[in-house]
Structure 1
């Protein structure tokens, strides 16, 4: 098999359909019932923090980031992070995570939340949210509710319900 170069770039509006198909293949129809999906429902991902991974012209990975409030603290919810099953274990997820978190830091964001596998996300600075610090709009395994502070002191001042920031109509 020929090695094709991996390209990480910001997600473009034209990528939306291919990214949705990628999510469908990776997560199936059950993805709509998840608590993390509730935070993103009706909220477009932030274009400057959402990235795609391409091999040639094929989209093989995606990470999306949406705005939320964590109590009174503006924050981000990362997800989904998706890699096409045929391209797993090649560092694509890590490249997408690093691109997104680097962009969030450079843009001055203070906190990123996600629901995911703690051992995987720990290498990017995520740790379980302390019990009772935040509440989500649905059930979640507390071991999978993770936070990555991007600024000092944010975990000391942020607490309360995590709610979506829906665009004004």
Structure 2
């Protein structure tokens, strides 16, 4: 089942996120030496940020246990509202079973229902292309870091208005090194 995050889910989300990103080559480094991958801490920072959108923090639950999480937060394209997607986390024992796909479809549908215009992420083009994501630069949207190249992707939603410019994530993303 996919549902909105509840206050009691925070620790389970942290655990799933840490497990999902532990040992991943491009994972953010731990904030504290020997700690969880940076993505686990990032979720906590985002939850405390003004860019937090509770309707776009979704969990996958199986047998009353959180097995996945997806999050979209307020971002901007040249000062105009947009969304930044991520992290997306699935318990390693449940990966490749459709949980991540279900979470992606749910968050994209929820963002569209909220009247958002576009959502951006950094990820593998071959994977995220199946959800309608495409490299951002052909749409005139510039990545926060040009070295991301085609890994910086956007998905336009129903209310997309052709906006172009520099994309900025919610401020906590800048705290990751």
Please state which band the TM-score falls in when normalised by the shorter chain. 0.7 to 0.9
Q: 2:18 maps to what in 1?
A: 24
Q: 2:143 maps to what in 1?
A: 135
Distance 1:164 1:130 in 2: 20
| Residue pairs, 1:102-141, within 5 angstroms | 102-130=109-137, 133-136=141-144, 138=145, 140-141=147-148
Question: TM-score, with normalisation over the residues of structure 2?
Answer: 0.77
Distance 1:61 1:122 in 2: 20
**1:78 touches 1:114 (CA, 8 Å); kept in 2?**
yes
Distance 2:108 2:160 in 1: 18
Q: 2:91 maps to what in 1?
A: 84
| Residue pairs, 1:18-167, within 5 angstroms | 18-28=12-22, 30-32=27-29, 42-44=45-47, 45-130=52-137, 133-136=141-144, 138=145, 140-151=147-158, 153-154=160-161, 156-164=162-170
Q: 1:99 to 1:49 in 2, by over 3 A?
A: same
Root-mean-square deviation (Å): 2.8
> What number of residue pairs does the alignment pair up?
157
**1:134 touches 1:162 (CA, 8 Å); kept in 2?**
no
